[in-house]
Amino acid sequence: MQGIVYLVGVGPGDPGLITIKAIEKIKGSDVLVYDYLANKKFLEYAKDGAEVIYVGKRGGCHTLPQDEINDILIQKASDGKVVARVKGGDPFIFGRGGEEAEALAEAGIPFEVVPGVTAGIAAPAYAGIPITHRDFTTTATFITGHEDPTKAESNLYWDRIATGVGTIVFFMGMANLEQNMKKLMDNGRDPKTPVALIRWGTTPEQETLVGTVDDIAEKAKTANFKPPAVAVVGGVVSLRGKLRWFDTRPLFGKRIVVTRAREQASDFTEILEREGACVVEFPTIRIVPPASWDAIDSAIERLDSYHWAIFTSVNGVKYFIERLKANGRDVRDLKGIKLCAIGPKTASEIEDLGLRLDFVPKEYRAEGIIEGLGDVKGMRILIPRAEVAREILPDELVRMGAAVDVVTAYKTVRPEGKTENIMDLFKQGKIDAVTFASSSTVTNFLQMFDEGVGIRFLKDVKVASIGPITAETARKYGIETAIMPKNYTIPALAEAIVDYYKGENL
């Protein structure tokens, strides 16, 4: 059985620019063959067991020559595999996708092309530069910054390009920037025509350098401006000052570490990225079932004996409901029991089940519950929670005369993740802030490094803690919290981080 090859463009860097069709093809492929400039987040769409092959080319250093890449595509498809050849930007715009398609056609291999958003349009747009504008130009052209060196003669007609096109976008042009600008001037382009260099366009690491045809090469040398970058030449570049939007966001250029469990990090990450941050997910806790379900199952058997059920986290709700179902029951068995939730996320999780809450404290921690529950003397209270948690709430309820059953619904453990990559970022001074959403994330973070190393790292960055308890845990290790929200929630923590960096820029 013969396979097929999909030549898939995944856009220039921002993972949100990948198309629905590109995602579908990646999800359905047995083999992924990907390039250096393709955002690695697309790998999250790969199905379990898919073979992943990196064939990136960077600064003249090629993992594999093009002929061998072609051979891989042909061989895998000949073996009956569905292959996604994943490329940054668009496969047919300076991506050598045309050559790969030719090789596949000659070998009789079926293929399809999935176009992608090209950097030639996206990078200028993210820099606030429209490549066409009715007040400036109605023409634009894409040009390779360096042609195939084996060609007998150039296909670039500089005498026509220099003055015949309004906006020129050079791809991969940093190595030949000075020569290309000189050719434009030698062929009649006004030396004072605005130019913008855009590096890592559409990503949180985007950099933009503006000059003119006659001085941009010198400015690039002074700034040590390196590839990958596109160069935009034309009057439209002057609109950048008015139309900038991407690199003016409050967290743009800030690299922020999120230490939440991976399955819980996405919402927090999304908020920070929306504000411009480059987020590094470094989970320091992992949510797992308890060693035994006996305690929670026993509580479920006598569910009708409880007056209150207090949920302190989303995970407590999820695991409790799972065990309820595993025991042949459902939410109807909670009828007559008053329900309390700490925090809006936990409350939302319960309300999504169609249940009405009797109490949600204004202060999102255990101490805030005591006052709101009222007289609990003689009542029986169930608290499904993490295996290790603060004892203030159950102890105080017992002191007030309640009978309290604390049952383990889940536990948090330290993941076995590698630390080399994040250590390099810390050592290079590329981390701006580290976020902690619980005391356990602080403790586990420090334990994932050799003694004293994590503390040293945290003293060189801003620490953002979700609340005073987490901040106090950090303080015990000699680490001061620079950012803390008034409300102890993830959205509030993100807002506090934004406000902090906004204040820095005032």
| Cα maximum dimension of the chain | 93
H-helix segments, 149-199 = 158-164, 177-186
Rounded-to-integer distance, Cα 276 and Cα 494, Å: 12
Environment class of residue 19 by beta-carbon count within 10 Å: exposed (0-12), middle (13-18) or buried (19+)? middle
Instruction: Assign 355 to helix, strand or coil.
Output: coil
Number of neighbouring beta carbons within 10 Å of residue 68: 12
Strand runs labelled E in 200-273? 207-212, 229-233, 255-258
Beta partners for residue 170, in sequence order: 143, 231
Q: Identify the H or E element spanning 470.
A: helix 468-476
Distances (CA, A) of 278 to 44, 197, 359, 437, 479: 18, 21, 38, 18, 23
Selected catalytic residue, list 14, 30, 35, 405 = 35
Annotation marks residue 423 as catalytic: no
Annotation marks residue 333 as catalytic: no
Selected catalytic residue, list 76, 87, 172, 411 = 172
Selected catalytic residue, list 21, 57, 182, 318 = 57
Annotation marks residue 172 as catalytic: yes
Rounded-to-integer distance, Cα 481 and Cα 465, Å: 6
Select from 14, 472, 437 the least CA-distant residue to 257: 437
Catalytic residues: 35, 57, 172
